[in-house]
Structure 1
């Protein structure tokens, strides 16, 4: 299990309502203090793909994605702390590991679903 990084210094705490989108800033990430968000993108036909559901203790933001378009939508009322660039290294390390593990789990689910369709 990952240890929690120490609290960020001089960070900005903000609240967002359900259905609002977190502002995406190229060099900033958000630490989720309360609530749930989803990361998402869509294709040229408008088909939305959810890439993750994130909650308390997770880190989300533009530096963690190469997708375009990319948004972080609040599924519930959310409280977040903006992590400034000088404080990001420990948060990003933990976030990258969580995102990697989540991607692997998702890939495993997709693969099992694809295999079961071929068999049946």
Structure 2
């Protein structure tokens, strides 16, 4: 066996709902991952949504427990973070936490959900002059997972999505894509 084979980094392909091994750092090549913890009642708290190209880690977490859960089929590569990569990751993680906390503090449920969808769309969708398009199926985001992220119930999310579509604040495109129109 050659030494180059021995030095190949660990690569994993995981399926939706799988959890990345703890205490390791990864480069996300394909798919989407949610970082999460739980409150005292066992309710999930989303800490971040990670897309291809990001570095994700559960090494030395500030919050315990910390879980990196696959939203979709995911391909990751184990990496050793150097100091600059650690700093870059911490800054992005801090920014994402602040953005999610700000969204979760919006009192109005419809505005909270619309802001969350816009945030997800800006980060993981397609932005053009008409607005922001995002695919809930590509991200494997169900009404339940949207509810978990923004602190609403699944029933409330379903009702709000219907109302926002009826009001034209969201436009359904196909079965699972949404357009969040630009504000005029």
TM-score, length-scaled by structure 2 = 0.50
From 101, 116, 119, give the equivalent of 1:107.
Answer: 101
Q: Does 1:72 align with 2:68?
A: yes
Q: Cα offset for 1:96?
A: 1.4
Q: 1:54 aligns with which of 50, 54, 59?
A: 50
Give 1 or 2 for the bigger CA radius of gyration. Answer: 2
Are the equivalent residues in 1 in contact too, given 2:55–2:89 (CA < 8 A)? yes
1:65-115, Cα deviation, whole Å (9 max, x unpaired): 32122111100000001112xx5333222211211221222233344x15x
Q: Which structure is richer in relative contact order (CA contacts within 8 A, separation 6 or more)?
A: 1
CA–CA separation in structure 2 for the residues paired with 1:65 and 1:105: 19
Q: Does 1:21 align with 2:19?
A: yes
Question: Partner residue of 2:10?
Answer: 12
* Cα RMSD for the two superposed structures: 2.2
Instruction: Write out per-residue CA displacement over residues 9-37 of structure 1, whole angstroms, 9 at most, x where no aligned residue.
Output: 84222111111000012xx3111111001
Partner of 1:6: none
Structure 1's consecutive aligned runs of 4 or more residues displaced over 6 angstroms after TM superposition are none
Checking the alignment, whether the CA contact within 8 Å between 1:39 and 1:70 is kept in structure 2 is yes
Residues 58 and 68, structure 2, Cα contact 8 Å, conserved in 1: no
Distance 1:68-1:90 versus aligned 2 partners, 3 A rule = same
Q: Alpha-carbon deviation of 1:61?
A: 1.7
Aligned equivalents of 1:82 and 1:56: distance in 2? Answer: 14
CA deviations 1:33-80 (Å, max 9, x no partner) are 110010111123211111111111112222263212211110000000
